[in-house]
Amino acid sequence: MSKTITVWNEYVHERNHDEVAEIYPDGIHAIIADALADRGFETRTATLDEPEHGLSEEVLDGTDVLTWWGHAAHDEVEDEVVRRVKERVLDGMGLLVLHSAHFSKIFKKLMGTTCGLKWREAAETERLWVTNPAHPIVDGIDEYIELPEAEMYGEHFDIPEPDTLVFNSWFEGGEVFRSGCCYQRGRGRVFYFRPGHETYPVYHDDDIQRVLANACDWAAPNEDGPDIERGNSEPIESIDTSDERSVH
Amino acid sequence: MSKTITVWNEYVHERNHDEVAEIYPDGIHAIIADALADRGFETRTATLDEPEHGLSEEVLDGTDVLTWWGHAAHDEVEDEVVRRVKERVLDGMGLLVLHSAHFSKIFKKLMGTTCGLKWREAAETERLWVTNPAHPIVDGIDEYIELPEAEMYGEHFDIPEPDTLVFNSWFEGGEVFRSGCCYQRGRGRVFYFRPGHETYPVYHDDDIQRVLANACDWAAPNEDGPDIERGNSEPIESIDTSDERSVH
Amino acid sequence: MSKTITVWNEYVHERNHDEVAEIYPDGIHAIIADALADRGFETRTATLDEPEHGLSEEVLDGTDVLTWWGHAAHDEVEDEVVRRVKERVLDGMGLLVLHSAHFSKIFKKLMGTTCGLKWREAAETERLWVTNPAHPIVDGIDEYIELPEAEMYGEHFDIPEPDTLVFNSWFEGGEVFRSGCCYQRGRGRVFYFRPGHETYPVYHDDDIQRVLANACDWAAPNEDGPDIERGNSEPIESIDTSDERSVH
Amino acid sequence: MSKTITVWNEYVHERNHDEVAEIYPDGIHAIIADALADRGFETRTATLDEPEHGLSEEVLDGTDVLTWWGHAAHDEVEDEVVRRVKERVLDGMGLLVLHSAHFSKIFKKLMGTTCGLKWREAAETERLWVTNPAHPIVDGIDEYIELPEAEMYGEHFDIPEPDTLVFNSWFEGGEVFRSGCCYQRGRGRVFYFRPGHETYPVYHDDDIQRVLANACDWAAPNEDGPDIERGNSEPIESIDTSDERSVH
């Protein structure tokens, strides 16, 4: 059965700035959703302006993987929605965190760090080198992806060391960046993917779209993981439980 | 120069329950601070009842490693103090998270997960097996530490996979638990150490005290780490920066 | 298209000892191959006595995942075959290393450590606790697998820290063991799975069979990973290459 | 007490090529040993031409950290010496693997992979960015080290994913490289450090020397790690051991 992807976008720049609207006339969410639909996923979109930012319990319950793009309006995302998304990720929903969403509330909450970095807008060359050629996320990709016009993000990127590092970026101006980072949090798989600035046509790139699709496949939850019990538990072995000391 | 350790304790059970007071008459913080002082550290203590829980900016600025014990009153710890502790950890202060502090606000914020687990109070045997005999935290320890009376904590423990797993516990009742877990968050080193229940004399154990001292040594910040610049950055290489597209 | 699994067994105990033959009349390889075939894989078997141990270049080229069981005859495996298997793993073939194969030449070569451990044959209870409930290898499994009769393997297990730890075993006699360990070496995925002693009917267990099948799915190579070039490389950027200093 | 470092060098280029001798008149080992002695270590050197390559059991037993430089003569290193060095690393001796020693027998045996990479000699700029500012290896270093003339090493570097990645290199010609990689194997800590070509004066650089000294401190063994027992073990708990099934 095909996986259901919810593509979230704050959808601010595209409506406020002509140069962005020219590249993404229907919003960044539209092109991402189309790219994923073309590759066999069920997709829907959600944006900041919708009630509950389009991320009701019902929507999230029906979502296998959520992709997140934000930049100018991180603070406008309601804490209650962030809490809900986080709960769903810990429960197994996949999460793709895109570009400037490194500073989104949800990513910072899942990482526990500041997620700060260097940046520069100079339409410079980026080359994303594959550092793990066996990872499913790079299936069908060459040994690097070259973007002629990119915003620079540079180290030190304040994240926990990734569980797996998939891409490592070179920038024309002299910096490097860990640009494809895999994490597990609870039962959820999280992929941070650096490319994607609003003033450059990065999401039109076929390789970038393929990475997004691969990452959705990778991040989708398992069919049938173990039921986990937590809290006060009876012993499995036969042991003496007569000790009464407790301040609970 | 000797390292300064601040030993934090919510200090509730010891004052409310005679059976706890008998084991820890001056509080859990007192015995931990004494054990660390005996092993060459500068120590001070801080408790929930003090103004700012004893964790003012000044105290934290002068702390190399903070140890944290809490159980009944996690919710009474002020968010502002938690924010401040987290900021200091990300800036390099070490943090030892002890036993029931797995559910402390600070640990959950740094991990990004629920930190839930199984538990049982039956004064049963725990055996902490060393899974990394070369780690500085187990210097001077045998291949396992045996505690005759322990609260059980069992898997699945909902934490990010540790950067390094140092101890793995066996329990008489049939469970296992990852009981010594190392993390880095920002510049701070974090060690979760499982033993330490309020109704058993675990912190009187010499091996447990030695692990705590080793962990303080390990978690203390470096003398002189790199200064990191974040934010908008000029290129290092000479590149064309004439492109004007930006919506900042 | 279904994946092809080659099930390798030294096939010594089953022919030399009646108590083993009773449990595995056609060899441990036969029951593993049947279990995998039942779950949709193409399977074939190979044993020590065959020419090239049944692992010719051709066989390996047609193998997606190789499973390896050995115990009494590790030293009889020819170095040339080990070299060939290792080359294939680094090139993407998955490898399942079972039970006493922790001491196989191929596992030691891929790990770089002694792979030593504690052991005891007392038909005691083992309980394999899931430490990563979101891993595809535990799909369909409960929070633990209990084996009523197992050989004990105990820490410290001298392996590199696993990329991902999936199972953590409890033993009746007081030990613990990291019993499901994931690694990547080159392009190959490697899974060490502890259960499987020759004198107990472990491979008849449905959960154990399911883990093996899940692990084959997980370890199988990607369809279409990047082509990687190594060795002397021309610059991608236009740089001055007139410097003549070289002692090559 | 100060740590003892043995600095090993194949010592071939410096004697065969004037351009190398000009930079390293007494050999690469001499400048590394001097740099470490200046920073408080006991040092000695050993080279390929000496009996047992200068690495007798006695020398290795007295060594806390071994540094290894080789390039043209990897195959001339005797397997017995490699075996001996590996055994000592697994037993706790630190190992620094420098530059072209990525292809040394000892590194390949410890990693289990091909350790292949891209390379180019064009005296181009390398910038080693710190990816872990809290690691003791970067104490006293800025956020990057810039080398005006370096041999390029490029991804994909065929190594197991490092336990900790400390440096990430940018090259003028367009490549990136994981250039400071920490591993643990057995009880030994291993650091691969990329810089160090024979035709450029890299080891004269003060920052490079400081990293080497920091890495020796980091890699040196603990005072007093646990004694580990392996092999057949009696149960700790009282269990029934009357089962006689065994084919040992």
Q: Where are the beta strands (DSSP E) in chain B?
A: 4-9, 42-47, 65-69, 94-98, 118-130, 144-154, 164-171, 176-185, 188-193, 231-232
On whether any CB of chain A is under 8 Å from the CB of D128, the answer is no
Instruction: Assess B136–A contact: CB distance below 8 Å, yes or no.
Output: no
- B16 to chain D nearest CA, in Å? 36
Flag if D143 and A155 touch (Cβ within 8 Å): yes
* Among the partner residues B143, B171, B176, nearest to C168 by beta-carbon distance: B176
What is the per-residue pLDDT for C179?
Answer: 98
Query: Nearest C-alpha of chain A: how many angstroms from C129?
Result: 11
What was the pLDDT predicted at A73? 97
D199 touches chain B (CB under 8 A): no
Closest chain D residue to the Cα of B218, Cα to Cα: D136
- Out of D132, D224, D228, the one facing B140 most closely (by C-beta) is D224
Write the pLDDT tens digit of every residue in A142-187. 999 999 999 999 999 999 999 999 999 999 999 999 999 999 999 9
Burial of C39 (0-12, 13-18, 19+ CB in 10 A): middle
Render the burial of D197-229: b for 16+ CB within 10 Å, e for the rest: bbbbebbebebbbbbbbbbbbbbbbbeebbebe
Contact B119, B102 (CB under 8 A): no
DSSP helix, strand, coil percent of chain B (3-state; round to 5): 30, 30, 40
Half-sphere exposure in the Cβ direction for B19 (13 Å, CA): 10
Whether the CB of A156 is below 8 Å from some CB of chain D: the reply is yes
Residue A149 backbone dihedrals phi, psi, to 5 degrees: -135, 115
B227 and A CB contact within 8 Å: no
**CA atoms C135, C138, C142, C147: torsion sign:** negative
**Closest Cβ opposite residue A92 in set C92, C134, C227:** C134
Binned at pLDDT 50, 70 and 90, residue A247 comes out as confident
CB-based contact, B116 to chain A, within 8 Å: yes
Are A239 and B123 in contact (CB < 8 Å)?
no
Q: How far is B111 from chain D (nearest CA, A)?
A: 18
Strand partners, C42: C4
Residues 6+ positions from D204 with CB-CB distance below 8 Å: D23, D31
Tens of pLDDT, residue by residue over B208-230, are 999 999 999 999 998 888 999 99
* Mean pLDDT computed over every residue of chain C: 96
**Which residue's structure tokens are 């001097």?**
D34
Tell me: the pLDDT tens digits for B63-81? 999 999 999 999 999 999 9
Which chains pack against B, by 3+ Cβ pairs within 8 A? Answer: A, C, D
**Range 67-106 of B in CB contact (< 8 A) with A:** 72, 86, 90
- Split at pLDDT 50, 70, 90, the class of D215 is very high
Alpha-carbon separation of residue C126 from A55, B168, B176 (angstroms): 44, 16, 11
Cβ of D175 within 8 Å of Cβ of C114? The answer is no
For residue D37, give the amino acid letter.
Answer: A
Q: What is the distance between the alpha carbons of residues C79 and B66, in angstroms, rounded to a whole number?
A: 53
Q: Cis omega (within 30 of 0) on the bond before D156? A: yes
B198 near A CB under 8 A: yes
pLDDT at C223: 82
In this predicted structure, which of A37-46, B14-23, C101-110 has the lowest mean pLDDT? B14-23
Q: Is A15 on the interface with B (CB under 8 A)?
A: no
Measured CA to CA in angstroms, residue C64 lies from C8, C89, C192 at distances of 13, 10, 17
Q: Do C174 and D237 touch (CB under 8 A)?
A: yes
pLDDT category at B150 given cuts 50, 70, 90 is very high
C-beta of residue B119 within 8 angstroms of C-beta of residue B152: yes
CA separation (Å) from C77 to C73, D70, D113? 7, 32, 20
Interface contact B189, partner D, CB < 8 A: yes
- Residue D112: CB atoms within 10 Å: 26
Q: How does pLDDT run across D73-125, given as a tens digit for each residue?
A: 999 999 999 999 999 999 999 999 999 999 999 999 999 999 999 999 999 99
Is some CB atom of chain C closer than 8 A to the CB atom of A142? yes
One-letter-per-residue 3-state SS of C121-157 = EEEEEEEEEECCCCCHHHCCCCCEEEEEEEEEEECCC
Alpha helical stretches, state H, D76-205? 79-90, 105-111
Q: Which residue of D has its CA nearest to B93?
A: D134
| CA C90 centroid distance within chain | 14
